[in-house]
Structure 1
Amino acid sequence: MGPVPFPIPSDEALRASTLAEYHVLESPPELEFDRLVQLASRLFSVPIALISLVASDRQVFKARVGLDVCETDRDVSFCAHAILSDEVMVVPDALEDPRFAANPLVLGPPFIRFYAGKPLVTPGGQRLGTVCLIDTQPRATFSQSERDNLSDLAELVMDRMELLRLAHVRTVGQARFENIAVTSPDAIICTTDVGAITFWNHAAERLFGYTAEEVTGRCGSLVVPDSWRAAYFEDLARLREGAAMSAAGQTIVRSGLRRDGSEFPAEISLSSWREGRATSVGAIVRDITERRRNEDRLYRLASLDALTELPNRAAWRACIQDTLEQGTPVSVLLLDLDGFKEVNDTLGHSAGDQVLKMVAARLKAECPDARMIARLGGDEFVLLLTGDDRRGASAVAGALVRALSRPYDLPGHAFEIGASVGIALYPAHGARAEDLLGAADLALYRAKAAGKGRYVVFERAFREVAVARREFERELRRAFEQDQFALLYQPQIDLRDGRIRGAEALLRWQHPTRGLLSPVSFIDVLAQKPIAPAVGEWIMRTACAQARGWRERVPGFRIGVNLFEAQVRSAQLRNVVERVLGETGLPPEGLELELLENTMIRHDSALLQVLQALRAMGVGLAFDDYGTGFASLSLLKRFPVSRLKIDRSFIRDVISDPEDAAIVRAVIYLGRSFGLEVIAEGVETKAQLDFLAANQCTQAQGYLFGRPMTAQAFTSELARAAVLP
């Protein structure tokens, strides 16, 4: 099924003839139109923005951003539908709209998913085309304010088209010109080559305050301010000498002078022609006060962050580019807030927005002389400082960290967040804008890795490390694609009878040149990559398949599987678990998912419902490395946890360190109090085992009972029915 045939407006013949009168379909590109579609692309954050004119059998793009073609057939045109109304037509998702779901522009390049178009309506009411926005991603909403802004843009385009139409009419004859000019909304003035006014329409009367009778025969300089009156007379003199006027055939912006002495910004289109032996001059004058106000507002919206009123990413990009082209030494300070996500998670996004406004105010107060302070998005800000002095930039960064670390007071709440800053200097750290921001980003990464609340100046070694890290990430992807990952299994022992009751699945990487790598070598990098959920699902499926066979030997056998944070964030966690259990045949009671405390804190509200559903299925849930994070006791009550795992760092010195011993006793006590199982990790000595047994810890794992081993070795271990040494 092809695209829906385009609809035909009831006044199609009149509409088409009106479009022809504007003479814009085949005319050269117009800088003003190009500027407006570029503004539209920035203002609405769309990759494609067009001024589309709908002819009888095609649509012609008078100006375009993000699209290579100049026209398309009308039968695939979204704009052919949009011109049926005076209002903005919005298509949130073209694939869900029966008019466009089979459209080749949707199924093929440019892969339209979102469309918004405002018709270009002439003063007589004919709809000639649209100003339209296109995105390759669907958009659920297009607000009323966005519709109003698009309508304002369409009005600016139509103003320009009307001026071009009148300029063309000027060339087809005086009589026809004057007939049209009488009813024109623009002021139209004709003079002789010495400046004597011969024609003055009603719009000129309204604009300048003089009647036609008052000005006919007088010099046109009476509406020309002092600022360009001399140039006006020079042009007339040039015309009398047989030369062309300097601005003939052009549209210029000058000031106009009203009868009351006030001036206004005017767009003026000048032309001259011969009538017999006499030379005449024509001027089309339009008051652009309102247009400038609208343009200023739209450009302001396109270059300012709506929340903080700081310059946005587009304005930053333009500023840094101009600065580098001038060769001016500068410092770039890239700043990221520490702990801001917790504000959003605990107090809500409205509170987060208030904090961002306060951050912007503190930045401006702390750096009033900065060339630019911009918000790049989220909680990321950037400052551009004059000069490339390392010490000076560091001093400013330190002051910013201190300023942003001061408490933030909101109604009913007082809290603290921090900031980390990465510093890059031009020209030392990069010649291009993207290189300089990249250097600052690498320095910021180092600052956050060093403990946050810090600032770091870029060093070339950072880039070398980043290159190596990217190569390592590619190796990780290849490792998964080429089956280089393997699972080992560490026994979990019931201390009451010394028998194996379960195992923890542990990931290893059989690197082709470096041998078998433990997780400490790669797990942090892997956890941050897009492949983490896929790797996590592979771990779960492989471990569950093994555990099903072991459960036949050991009734109640349970396999522990660590989850990546990306799996926890995913809305598919429950579906993945159900699918894996169904495919492997392992009952839900045979699987235990291990989560870190801090993961639970960060995803409190989003995670709770999923975990409750998993527990209702029978899947076990364990707090891994318990005691090393920041979990509160309330989490034990709120989350459906079934087991606590005491971290090995507390077991290592439990015999010699009274504080570690107290922590272990406390965790065991908490487990009993909340009705949870407790297992100790990292048990390596008989003394540690005796301590745990004496304090009624019922389960343990560690080298004392067996190192992580292959599935084959673990099967053999089960066959020997391992007991305590």
Structure 2
Amino acid sequence: MTVLPAPTELARLEALARYAIVEGVPEASFRRVAELAAQIFRAPVALLNFVTSDSTWSKACVGVDLTRVDRQLSFCARTIEQDSVLVAPDLTRDSRFLSNPLVRAPGGYRFYAGAPLRTPEGFNIGTLCVLDYAPRAEVSAVEREALVNLAALAVEGLELRRARLEAEREARARQQLVEELRRTTAYAETLAAISALIDLNLDPPELVGTAVQLVAQVSQLDWAGVGVLREGRLQVQTAWRGPEVPPDLLAHLLRPAADGEGLIWQVRDREVPWFVEDYPAQPGARPELARAGLRGAVLASLGTFEDTQYLLAAVRRTAKSWSRADHDLYQVATRTVAGALLRQEREQRLAHEATRDPLTGLGNRRALEAALLTAPAGGGLAVLDLDGFKQVNDREGHLRGDVLLRLFAGALAAELPAEATLYRLGGDEFVALYPEASQPPPLHDEVLQALDVAVSAARSAGFQEVGASFGIALWPAEVTDAQAAVALADERMYADKRRRAAFRQRRAGGVGEGGAQKGSATFLGRTK
């Protein structure tokens, strides 16, 4: 029996084992590869084999019904020792095979050609081979290449199969994890599981619902639900339900009561859960719930996220006291969930703030870059620069400059159409993004009008010498995408700034220093 060197053979067998392909029945996808090989070679027999430590297992058979051959008798055991196609035109004349019983037997094989199944890691784990009962001439280069290509296709199929099996194993593992959490019978394990949920970055409804499920399964409940209170409206959802909950009790639990109607969903901002042991005797109890068999309950606030508050109602139909452990479980669980919601809201707020300019409240450069990535074709943008801002900073101080920026940005944003969005690119530079824009001059006039209003507002507040320059660009009419449009509009803005500076110099030479364009909004280009 031919065997590769021990370290190589061990690694090869490990690579084969990862595919979980040995033994079992032949598979249709591999049979199609074997059939193609038989057709190309016009051979009566084609096999797709995998070589183990002591056997060769066939996963596709054409022309013969074969499952396993001892490795000592296998032609393929020789093929995996090399990286090229192995061809034996006449097995009876090949010293490697002439004593093989599969050759010497009456009607035995006379011709063999096999290509190794080589994994991406470089291990030959099997072969694709064709056999004939009559000898043949040497195979052509085209035939060798065809056999190699078909072997490569078989390996690609193996890789897809392995990926699918791994995905299925992972899915089963995730399902088993959920089931194990649901089967948790110890309060300490449940609390640990709830703590672990926080690190999974679940959205608030999923986080709350999963946490309630975990608690419900270990505290001998009949039903647990989540109330979602938003803008004064309450929606009730079942988070966990026992197998024997009467339909009438379930219907009453899912119907949220109005304020003052009765006891279940009236919990709002209680810091600790409210435990009810004899529901029918509780003041404010809803008669229909008592008649349906409700005996014990836990009512609690699960915290808030943005404008939504989450509430818990867990009920029993048995008259059983809530233990000290029950109190600890619900108190810790509800505080953990409330803390997780608070953290998520804080992180979301920080993420939002990271895309906002703190001075003007506009989206910042990061927000603009994100918007440009999803900007649809057919849009336009304007790059705008506040002229005279540096002089205000130098002459009146940065606090006064900040006032100018806020005033200009607020007036400009208010003047833009509802579908347009204004961003602060940095310093005194802004970008107005239009999701739909027509060819100039309509967009040019629209931007010009908005700037007239913004500059007039700044001048009315005492910033008499400020002005603005701008440039616009459209895509795909002028450039291929929104990012390129920013560069083009920026170039046009600086060209506009240079023209405006030259115009001011000419006017200054004619009317004297400090007399250029004061008190007029026509500086924006209507006199260009």
Q: TM-score range by the shorter chain?
A: 0.3 to 0.5
Larger RCO of the pair (alpha carbons < 8 Å, separation 6+): 2
Structure ID, larger Rg: 2
Q: TM-score, normalised by structure 2?
A: 0.37
Return the TM-score normalized by structure 1: 0.28
